[in-house]
Amino acid sequence: MDLNALLEKTVIGLGYELVDVELSPRGRTIRVFIDAPAKGRGVDVEDCTKVSNQLQRLFEVENVDYDRLEVSSPGLDRVVKKAADFERFAGQEIFIRLRIPLDNRRNFQGELLGLKEGKVGVRLEKGEVELELTNIDKARLVPRFD
């Protein structure tokens, strides 16, 4: 049983997007981050409760061994993982860390320009850069407070 596939199928079936899954080092805590792009305002406590209740029942049926389940929104500094996310959040500020440095640099922060042909475009203070999607270790949106 693949936990990620099980979570993806269930969360999508409930009408939400599975943004990310985190497991504690021993796998005893499962953190599930969900979003509801169709709602336009993100997820609320009721959404998290609905998904949590369904996952608890599912884990019981599937014999998933865990101590704690946490379901929440991805937050303002949400993780950006999927190719579609890099297109969806174009125009927003992003922080990206690479697996393998590019020109002796692993960290980039700037305006996300989108995804073209497997490369993520980022506008930096001094020009633009294209980063291979497969080389991205972590990417998060940077919240703006105006």
Closest CA to 10 of 58, 47, 42, 43: 58
Residues 8 and 68 in one domain: yes
28 by Cβ neighbours in 10 Å (0-12 / 13-18 / 19+) ranks as exposed
Residue 102 reports pLDDT greater than 80: yes
Residues 65 and 14 in one domain: yes
Residues 17 and 66 in one domain: yes
pLDDT at position 38 is 76
Is 78 inside a domain boundary?
no
Is 52 inside a domain boundary?
yes
The chain-wide mean pLDDT, for the chain, equals 92
Is 65 inside a domain boundary?
yes
Residues 135 and 95 in one domain: yes
Residues 49 and 88 in one domain: no
Is 68 inside a domain boundary?
yes
- Give percent of the chain with pLDDT exceeding 90: 79
Domain count, the chain: 2
CATH number at residue 64: 3.30.70
Is 146 inside a domain boundary?
no
Q: At what angle do helices 3-13 and 45-62 cross, to 10 degrees?
A: 130
Give tens-digit pLDDT for 45-70: 999 999 999 999 999 999 988 999 99
114 — pLDDT class (breaks 50, 70, 90)? very high
Domain that includes residue 64, residue range: 3-72
Is 56 inside a domain boundary?
yes
Q: Which residues, in sequence order, are CB contacts of 52 under 8 Å at separation 6+?
A: 69, 71
Is 77 inside a domain boundary?
no
Evaluate if pTM is beyond 0.95: no
127 by Cβ neighbours in 10 Å (0-12 / 13-18 / 19+) ranks as exposed
